[in-house]
Amino acid sequence: MTFNFTDSVNQYFDGAVEQLGLDPYLAHKIKVCNATYTVKFGVQLRGKLKTFVGYRAVHSDHIEPVKGGIRFAPHITVEEVEALATLMTLKCALVDIPFGGSKGGLCINNSDWTQEERERITRRFAAELIKRNLLSPSQNVPAPDMGTGPLEMAWIADQYRRTHNNDINAMACVTGKPISHGGIDGRTEATGLGVYFATMAFLRSEVVNRQDFPAPAARGLAVVIQGFGNVGSHAAKYFANDGARITAVGDHDIMVRNDAGLDVGALQAHLKSTGSIAGFVGAESFGQPADVFAVPCDILIPAAIEGAITEENVYQINTKLVVEAANGPMTPFAEMALAAKGVPVIPDLFANSGGVIVSYFEWVKNLAHMRFGQLQRRREQSLTSRLLSELERHTRTGFDDNFRDQMRDGPTERRLVESGLEDSINATFQRIVERQRAHSTTISMRTAAYMIAIASVADRYQTMGL
Q: How many alpha carbons fall within 13 Å on the CB side of residue 61? A: 12
| Beta carbons of 226 and 255 less than 8 angstroms apart | no
For 39, 101, 295, 388, the CA distances from 290, given in Å and listed in that order, are 35, 31, 10, 53
> Whole-angstrom Cα distance, residue 318 to residue 166?
57
Residue 272 among the catalytic residues: no
In 3-state terms, what secondary structure has residue 278?
Answer: coil
In DSSP notation, 391-407 reads: HHHHHT-PPPHHHHHHH
The Cα 231–Cα 193 span in angstroms is: 8
DSSP designation for 275: S
Give φ, ψ of 222 to 5 degrees: -90, 125
Per-residue exposure over 378-400, b if at least 16 CB sit within 10 Å of its own CB, e if not: eeeeeebeeebeeeeeeeeeeee
Strand order across the beta sheet in which 255-257 lies: 284-286, 255-257, 245-250, 222-226, 299-302, 321-323, 345-346
Residue 307, C-beta contacts closer than 8 angstroms, at least 6 positions apart: 3, 5, 8, 328, 329, 330, 331
From the list 31, 103, 320, 365, the catalytic residue is 103
Say which DSSP state 311 is in: T
Q: What type of residue sits at position 265?
A: G
Per the CB < 8 A criterion, the answer to whether 207 and 238 are in contact is no
Bridge partners for 51 per DSSP: 42
Strand order in the sheet with 66-73: 35-45, 48-60, 100-107, 66-73, 140-144
Nearest to 97 by CA among 392, 348, 360, 399: 360
DSSP 330: B
Helical (H) or strand (E) element with 152: helix 150-163
Say how far residue 198 (Cα) sits from the centre of its chain: 11
Q: What are phi and psi of 176, to 5 degrees?
A: 85, 20
Helices (H), 41-106: 78-94
| Residues belonging to the active site | 103
